[in-house]
Amino acid sequence: MSTLQVILNVAILLVFVGILYVMNKKHVKFSNRVFAGLGLGIALGLGLQLFYGIDSQVLAETTPWYSIIGSGYVKLLQMVAMPLIFISILIAFTKMTIGKNFGKMAALILAILIGTTAVSAGVGILSATIFDLDATQIMHGDAETERGAYLEEKTSGMTAPDLPTQIIELFPANPFLDLTGARSTSTIAVVIFAAFLGFAYLRVARKDEATGATIKKGLDAIYALIMGVVTIVLRLTPYGILAIMARTVATSDFGAIYNMGKFVIASYVALIIMLLVHLLIISLSGLNPFTYLKKSAETLLFAFTSRSSAGALPMNIKTQTGRLGVPEGIANFSGSFGLSIGQNGCAGVYPAMLAIMIAPTVGINPLDPVFIITVIAVVAVSSFGVAGVGGGATFAAILVLSALDLPIALAGILISVEPLIDMGRTALNVSGSMTAGVATARVTKELDTEIYNNKDVSAQVADL
C-alpha cells in the first residue's frame, strides 16, 4: 500500500511539473513561473504533511524522489558556480577601461561590500538584542541536536587556529583544486586566481595589442559558452523550486518553527533594515531608490526563491547593465565579488545574531561594548570567501563562532527554520552586490542615468 501511495505522490509532483511546463510553452513570464513553482510547492508540501503526518513512512519514502528534481537542481547550480565566478572576473577585466578609475572602481566595490557587511553585523546585533534572543531559551529536538553535533565535528577541519592562518588559507596554492570547490575557502581562492589572470591580461594587452585582442576573443567565446550552460540550468528553476519547497514544507517541524518564531521575525526585521540601508546608499548617490527597487525586484525574487547567490549572478549582471545603467565591467566585478566577499545576509546578519544569542551560554555579556566591537570586526574579516551556493551562512557562522571561542553545536538549533531564513538572506546578498555596482558606477561617473531613470521595465532580464 505504501508503495502505491509513494507512486501517487510522485505522480502529483509530475502533474505540477507539467503545469509549469505548459506555462513555459505559453511564454508566461519567468518570474511568474518561479512564483507559481513556489506556491505549488508550498501547497503540495502542506498537503503531504497534513495527509500523512511528519513521521509517516510514506513521506520518508516520497521525499528522496522529490530530491531528484530539487537536489538535482541545486547540484546543477553548484556545477556552474565556480566556472561562472572564474570567467565573470576575467571578463570584467577585459571590459574595463585601463586608467585611473580602475583602482578606484575596485576599491569602492570592496569598500561597499565589506562596509555594508560590518553594518549588517551591527544591525543583526541590534535586532537580537531588541528581541532578547537567547540560545538557551529556544526549544530544540533530536534533529537539531544531531545537526549541532555534526557542525561541531565538521568545524574541526574547517577552522584555522588563528586569524593570520585563516587569511593564509584564502590564497590558492592549487587553483585547479579550488576550481573543484574542494576547500571551504575555494570561492575566494578562485576569485584571487582569476584576478591575477585579469591583471596579467591587462599587462599583455598594454604591451601587445594583437595578443591581447586574441586573448579577449577567446575569453568572450568561453564566457558565451558558460552563460549558455547557465541559461539552461536557470530554465529549470521553477521545477527545482517546486520540488525543493514541497520537500521542505512536507518535512518541516512546524512546532519547532513556532518555538523559534521570534528568531525568524528578528532575522527578517534585520534583513529589511539592511535593505533600507541599501536604498539609503542608492539615495545618497543621488538616485531614486524606488527605481532601484522596482527594477531589481525580479532578480531579488529569483534569489529569494532559489536561495542561490551564484545562480542569480547572470540575472544580477543583466539587471545592472540592462535596467540600472551600470557598465559591464563594474557589473561583472560587483556581481562576482559579491559572491565571495561581504554577503550582508549570510556573512553579516546571521553570524552576528548567532554570536549574541550564544554568548550568554558561556557567561559572556552580549552587551559588552568590547564584545560587540569584536563581533563586528570578526564578521567583516570572516566575510571573505563565503560560498554563493548553499551552506555559505553555515560556513560563515562556523568561522565567526570559532574565532570568538563560542560553541559551534548550538547553531544546530536553527536547522528547522534555516530554509525559511535563507531565502531572505540570499535576496539581501544579491541586493548588496547590485547596490555596490550602482553606487560605484555613480561615483566614478560611468552610470548611464538615462537607462537608470527609464521607467520601462518590461524587457526580460534574461531570455529564460
At residue 391 the predicted structure's pLDDT band, cuts being 50, 70 and 90, is: low
- Dig out the grid coordinates for 286 from the structure: 543621488
Average pLDDT over residues 143-169: 58
Q: Burial code of 365-388, b = ≥16 C-beta within 10 A, e = fewer?
A: ebeeeebbeebbebbbbbbbbbbb
**382 closest CA partner among 117, 124, 191, 127:** 117
pLDDT of 124 over the 90 cut: yes
What are the distances in angstroms from CA 188 to CA 152, 169, 308, 365, 434?
24, 10, 17, 33, 19
pLDDT tens for each residue of 169-214: 778 888 888 888 777 677 778 888 988 998 899 889 888 889 989 9
Residue 410: predicted pLDDT: 63
Tell me what percent of the residues of the chain surpass a pLDDT of 90: 29
At residue 148 the predicted structure's pLDDT band, cuts being 50, 70 and 90, is: low
Domains and CATH numbers, the chain: 2-453 (1.10.3860.10)
pLDDT tens for each residue of 155-166: 555 554 566 776
Helices (H), 179-288: 186-207, 209-234, 237-250, 254-259, 261-284
Average pLDDT over residues 331-345: 84
Residue 289: predicted pLDDT: 95
Q: What is the mean pLDDT of the chain?
A: 83
Range with lowest mean pLDDT among 203-207, 297-301, 305-309, 375-379: 305-309
Rounded-to-integer distance, Cα 308 and Cα 311, Å: 5
